[in-house]
Amino acid sequence: MAGVLLCTAGLGAFPSTATAEPTGPDVSSWQHSGGRPIDWFAVRASGHRFAMVKATEGLDYINPFFVQDSLHMRVAGIARGTYHYARPELPPEPQAALYAAVVLGQNGPLDMPPVLDIEHSGGLPPAALIDWTHRYLNTVQALTGRVPIVYTYPTFWRTAMADSDQFHRYPLWIADYRDRPAPEVPGRWPAWTFWQQTDSGSIPGIHGPTDVNVYSGAQGDFARFARMGGLTGSGSG
């Protein structure tokens, strides 16, 4: 397994099993069926140290549970990542501005870097989509002061993004649900940072199936990456 990880990710420091590193769900309004809240204390008590929360989509959608989840996660001691779901058929700069305004920065305790979720082309050819992605990421970094994370999946990146290798400065969050010791890494990224391993996980405190992710260690100590500070030793919150 270690050999596969070395070949796939290019980092010898990766753990030999995914369970050796922090795990966490990513959630949106779908995890609030019927308006039910997520019990973030139960999520933390079950061993998960972080979660990714959908903030915005396109030019006019704001997750109605975003503020609620953000506040409860912070009280429970769970590191927070927030993401924007890209609509490349619309201009990138206003989408970046909407996202940045809603999340009010990503620079406090328990804040991980901002995330761009790009998994649709919006009808753009690869060259135009690559340009769109650069513009969005540059704008979000300027507005938040942090280098964003890119979320995608291998087939989309290889086809819609022409397997571009222009984004290596951004940490990679890759979705790959196949039963394998490491995810497929497109675009010759030197490492993956987060791996979304399933979209049908079960986590105490979250109603129904949810995505589950693991951190690779590629960005170093998770507590520092997530700005956990003195909260790293907290239990169930």
Active site residues: 26, 117, 119
Among residues 192, 137, 130, 135, the alpha carbon closest in space to that of 164 is found at 130
| One-letter identity of residue 91 | P
Contact assessment for residue 174 and residue 153, using Cβ atoms and an 8 Å cutoff:
yes
Q: Which residue has the tokens 């010898």?
A: 12
Answer for the pair 192, 2: CB distance below 8 angstroms, yes or no. no
Angle between helix 92-103 and helix 126-144 axes, rounded to 10 deg:
30
Cβ–Cβ under 8 Å, residues 85 and 57:
yes
